[in-house]
Amino acid sequence: MDKPTNNGAWLLVVPVVLLVAFNAVMPLMAVVNYSVQDIFGPGQAYWVGTEWYREVLGDTRLHEALLRQFLFSGLVLLIEIPLGVLIALAMPRRGWAVSLVLVILALPLLIPWNVIGTIWIIFTRPDIGLLGYSLNSLGIPFDHTASPLDAWITLMLMEVWHWTPLVVLLAYAGLKAIPEAFYQAAAIDGASAWKVFRYIQLPKMRGVLTIAVLLRFMDSFLIYAEPFVLTGGGPGNATTFPSIYLVKVALGQFDLGPAGAFSVIYFLIVLLFSWLFYQVLQNVGRGKAR
């Protein structure tokens, strides 16, 4: 499908660009500014060029935090995307049950993120939490404050519980947008359920799945509040992700220079990988056009 070229279409886009640029440009410039200066106090700032960048890039603790982050985001995508799609396929299409299921799905998404961390702290406590108590009575020792593995398990459970509904809602909307005629044609063609999924549903969900993957990647890569409240980055450094580390640096030590440099680097990493994901997802299954 060829799109006609029409530069007049810019008129439709201008409000969006203005609005977003208004919020984006100045603060970004300010942060880049921080990243090349050493700030001792208001009005006392000295140009240091790329010094902060070199320092940040050489920080081994940051490297570790980044590795943890890649592991985390990787797990998030591997679990949440397929799970979300499966659940969307299982959801009812019509009837009263739809409203009920949609509302239940939305619940985890609507809770402020610090409250989520709090809920899961209690939920996993062996004395007063449902999960912790149950595990304890089954004889499984589980303590996310002491064991890094348990901390990660709790974190992943919390994360999957919290965000899979986002994938489900997107995938469900994508599925609902498929005209009934395609299912009818498939029925007439004698296609099995698997073939229907492979040749109709999955291709037509490309758009929503791209959004789901990008959103989950970006948001999980930048994650802060939930792990911070749940574990504070611990035990030790087991769950210290780059954003937690960043906040310690920026606010804890009030060092805007390195924090600024870090933010820029962080942004560029997310940008690079998002772009890669985007390119892959746009082209997978396309094959050779002509």
Partner 1 sequence: MKTGIVRFALATYLVMLMLPVYWMVNMSLRDNADILSTFVLFPENLTFDNYIKIFTDPSWYSGYINSMIYVTMNMVISVSVALPAAYAFSRYRFIGDKHVFFWLLTNRMAPPAVFALPFFQLYQTMGLIDTHIAVALAHTLFNVPLAVWVLEGFMSAIPREIDETAYLDGYSFPRFFFRIFMPLIKTGIGVTAFFTFMFSWVELLMARTLTTTEAKPIAAVMTRTVSATGLDWGLLAAAGVLTIVPGALVIYFVRNYMAKGFALGRV
Partner 2 sequence: MASITFEGVAHSYERHPRDERDFALKTLDASFENGGAYALLGPSGCGKTTLLNIISGLLRPTRGRVLYDDRDVTALPPARRNIAQVFQFPVIYDTMTVEQNLAFPLRNRGLAAAAIARRVAEVAEMLELEGVLRQRAAGLTADQKQKVSLGRGLVRVDVAAILLDEPLTVIDPQLKWLLRRKLKEVHARYGHTFVYVTHDQNEALTFADRVVVMYDGRIVQVGSPQDLFERPLHRFVGYFIGSPGMNFLPCHLAGNGLGIDGTEVVLGGAWFAEAASHPSARLELGIRPEHLEVLAGPEPGSVEARLLRVEDLGNYKLVSAMLGPHRLFAKVPEGREIGGETVNLRFPPTRTRLYADDRLLV
Return the one option of partner 2, partner 1, none that residue 145 interacts with (CB less than 5 to 8 A, by type): none
Angle at 92 (CA atoms; ends 88, 95), nearest 5 degrees:
145
Strands (E), 158-219: none
Report the SS3 class of residue 39.
strand
Closer CB to partner 2, 183 or 273, in the complex: 183
The answer to the question of residue 200 lying near partner 2 (CB under 8 A) is: yes
Return the one option of partner 1, partner 2, none that residue 115 interacts with (CB less than 5 to 8 A, by type): partner 1
Instruction: Supply the minimum distance, in Å, between the C-beta of residue 280 and partner 2.
Output: 16
Q: Which residues contact 252 (CB under 8 A, 6 or more apart)?
A: none
Taking a C-beta distance cutoff of 8 angstroms, is the pair 93, 174 a contact?
Answer: no
The answer to the question of residue 94 lying near partner 2 (CB under 8 A) is: no
Q: Which of residues 127-186 bind partner 2 (CB under 8 A)?
A: 179, 181-182, 184-185
For partner 2, the binding residue among 199, 224, 277, 278 (CB under 8 A) is: 199
CA distances (Å), 80 to each of 84, 149, 270, in order?
Answer: 6, 20, 19
Return the one option of partner 2, partner 1, none that residue 279 interacts with (CB less than 5 to 8 A, by type): none
Closer CB to partner 2, 184 or 253, in the complex: 184
End-to-end Cα distance, the chain: 13
Return the one option of partner 1, partner 2, none that residue 184 interacts with (CB less than 5 to 8 A, by type): partner 2
Closer CB to partner 2, 12 or 94, in the complex: 94
At residue 273, φ and ψ (nearest 5 deg) are -70, -35
Closer CB to partner 2, 157 or 200, in the complex: 200
Taking a C-beta distance cutoff of 8 angstroms, is the pair 164, 84 a contact?
Answer: yes
Instruction: Supply the minimum distance, in Å, between the C-beta of residue 285 and partner 2.
Output: 6
Taking a C-beta distance cutoff of 8 angstroms, is the pair 172, 91 a contact?
Answer: yes
The answer to the question of residue 192 lying near partner 2 (CB under 8 A) is: yes
* Number of Cβ atoms within 10 Å of the Cβ of 188: 8
Q: Which residues bind partner 2 (CB under 8 A)?
A: 179, 181-182, 184-185, 187-192, 195, 199-200, 203-204, 285-287, 289-290
